[in-house]
Amino acid sequence: MIELRAQEFDPWRELRAFETAHPELHGKAGASAVFAGTMRDFNQSDDVAAMFLEHYPGMTEKHLSAIRDSAMRRWPLQAALVIHRIGEVRPGDTIVLVAAWSAHRAAAFDACRFIMEDLKSKAPFWKKERLRSGERWVDSNTPGFSN
Amino acid sequence: MIRVKFFASLREQFGAAELDLPTRPGMSVAEVWNAAAGQPLPDYVLMARNLEYVQSDSVVEDGDEIAFFPPVTGG
Q: How far apart are the first and last CA of chain A?
A: 31
How distant is the Cα of B5 from the closest Cα of chain A, in angstroms? 9
pLDDT value at A145 more than 90: no
What is the rounded average pLDDT of the residues A22-45?
96
Is this complex's ipTM strictly greater than 0.90? yes
- pTM higher than 0.90, yes or no? yes
What is the rounded average pLDDT of the residues A65-76?
98
Do the Cβ atoms of B72 and B11 come closer than 8 Å?
no
pLDDT per residue as tens digits for the range A105-129: 999 999 999 999 999 999 999 999 9
d(CA A66, CA A11): 22
Domains and CATH numbers, chain A: 2-132 (3.90.1170.40)
pLDDT value at A52 more than 80: yes
CATH of B2-69, one of 3.40.50.300, 3.40.50.1100, 1.10.10.60, 3.10.20.30: 3.10.20.30
Chain B interface disruption, residue of A3, A135, A138, most B CBs within 10 A: A138
Residue ranges of the domains in chain B? 2-69
**Amino acid at residue number B11:** R
**Amino acid at residue number A103:** A
